[in-house]
Structure 1
Amino acid sequence: MIEFRQVSKQYSHGSSALTDVTLSIAKGELAYLSGPSGAGKSTLLKMIAAIERPTSGSVLVNGQDIGKLSASGIPYLRRNLGLMFQPANLLSDRSVVANVMLPLLVTGSARNDAEKRARAALDKVGLAGKATSEPLALSGGEQQRVAIARAIVNRPQIILADEPTANLDRASANRVMDALTAFHEAGVTCLIATHDEAILRNADRIIYLDGGRLTKSPEMRLAQESA
């Protein structure tokens, strides 16, 4: 589903965000990105969505080379992606359901159909009763779940989430992760960047970045050294 082949990203001022990254994520997999701040996690996620382009190497999504994608092809790529970046970026001048409808309206869906699907997405994240509320009236955890509803309203094949539980209390973080896990269990490929140790503790796969390079986590290195 997602493949990085010796991908590097350098900026004009000389700094490197990613260096020689090679990895693959299978269809339907749930994987976590971890590592210190500035390790390149957000850059890696943005490359999958063609927000950033590699300086060298190839990023493939469903076999399509993102680096060769034309500007006109990017909207079609993103229709298959559910994107969650920090902050939630909800629009405060419209209701919760209107926020969730936006991706559908942008891609040409009829308003009635868009509202029906948006309400269904809110129901899936446990917020059906908040559809007509204003975003600023919601808690931080509820705002993140609205962001999940907006990310999945297009019925994407892939969800990319950048620190979806940042600054949330444990109960709110658990509800956000329960919603994301439910979509994974329904067959959606999920790649989640997080520092949350409570989440990583039970993860089946962790992709660890440090200084823009793939590496083993400190915990993995310690375990191997003591073995």
Structure 2
Amino acid sequence: MIEFHDVSKRYPGGSAALSEVSLSIASGELVFLAGPSGAGKSTLLKMIAAIERPSAGRVLVNGQEVSSIKQRGLPYLRRKLGLILQEQRLLMDRNVLANVMLPLVVAGIAGEDADKRARAALGKVGLLSKAASMPLSLSGGEQQRVAIARAIVHRPQVIIADEPTANLDRDSANLVLSTLKAFHGAGVTCVISTHDEYFLDRADRVIYLSQGRVTEAWRRNPVEEDVA
């Protein structure tokens, strides 16, 4: 589903975010990216969505080389992806339902179908009762779950989550991770970055980054009990 072939990323001034990264993520996998701040996790995730472009190497998603995709092709790529960034970027002047409906409206889906799908997505993250609420009235964990609902409302093939539990209390973080694992259980490929060893203990595959390079990658049996 996702392939990196000798990918490097250098910014003006010579600083390297990624150096000769090669990795492969199969369809339906749940993969955690780990490593300290500045290791290159966010850059790697943004390259999957062509938010960042490599300085060298190739990035492929479902066989399509996204590292060289033209600007006009980006909407078609991103319809396959559910993006959950560190900043939720919810629209504070619209209620929760309108925020979740936004990707559908952009894709030309409106009316009753968009409303039904947005409510279904909110139901999956346990926030249907908050559909009419404004984002500022929600807790941090609830806002993150709204962001997840917005990311999955268009039924993506891949969910990309950049530190989705950062700055959340343990209970909220557990609920967010349980929500993401539920989508993985339904067959969605999930790539999640985290620095929290608590969650890595529950992963079945971990890729470690350090100073822009893959330093370790392994599979292991996840902890059996649910994280919630």
Q: Aligning the two structures, in what range does the TM-score lie when normalised by the shorter sequence? A: over 0.9
Distance in 1 separating the partners of 2:216 and 2:74: 33
Matched with 2:212 is 212
Q: Aligned residues, how many?
A: 218
Q: Tell me the secondary structure at the aligned position of residue 216 of structure 1.
A: strand
Matched with 1:147 is 147
Distance in 2 separating the partners of 1:124 and 1:139: 18
Tell me how far 1:135 sits from its aligned partner: 0.4
Matched with 1:223 is none
Aligned pairs (5 A) from 1:185-200: 185-200=185-200
Q: What letter corresponds to residue 183 of structure 2 in structure 1?
A: F
Q: What letter corresponds to residue 82 of structure 1 in structure 2?
A: G
Tell me how far 1:165 sits from its aligned partner: 0.4
Matched with 1:224 is none
Distance in 1 separating the partners of 2:152 and 2:106: 15
Distance in 2 separating the partners of 1:100 and 1:145: 10
Q: What letter corresponds to residue 24 of structure 1 in structure 2?
A: S
Matched with 1:172 is 172
1:89 aligns with 2:89: yes
Distance in 2 separating the partners of 1:125 and 1:99: 14
Distance in 2 separating the partners of 1:98 and 1:79: 18
Report which of the two has the higher share of helix: 1
Deviation by residue 1:185-215 (Cα, 9 ceiling, x = unmatched): 0000000000111110121111100000000
Distance in 2 separating the partners of 1:8 and 1:113: 42
Q: TM-score, normalised by structure 2?
A: 0.94
Which segments of 5 or more consecutive residues in structure 1 lack a partner in the other structure? 218-227
Q: What letter corresponds to residue 94 of structure 1 in structure 2?
A: R
Q: Tell me the secondary structure at the aligned position of residue 8 of structure 2.
A: strand
Q: State the 4+ residue runs in structure 1 displaced beyond 6 angstroms.
A: none
Matched with 2:57 is 57
Tell me how far 1:115 sits from its aligned partner: 1.3
Matched with 1:101 is 101
Tell me how far 1:111 sits from its aligned partner: 2.6
Distance in 1 separating the partners of 2:100 and 2:146: 7
Distance in 1 separating the partners of 2:73 and 2:151: 19
Tell me how far 1:88 sits from its aligned partner: 0.9
Deviates more, 1:1-10 or 1:104-113: 104-113
TM-align CA RMSD = 1.1
Distance in 2 separating the partners of 1:129 and 1:204: 33
Matched with 2:111 is 111
Aligned pairs (5 A) from 1:62-77: 62-77=62-77
Counting aligned pairs with the same residue, the percent is 69
Distance in 2 separating the partners of 1:129 and 1:191: 28
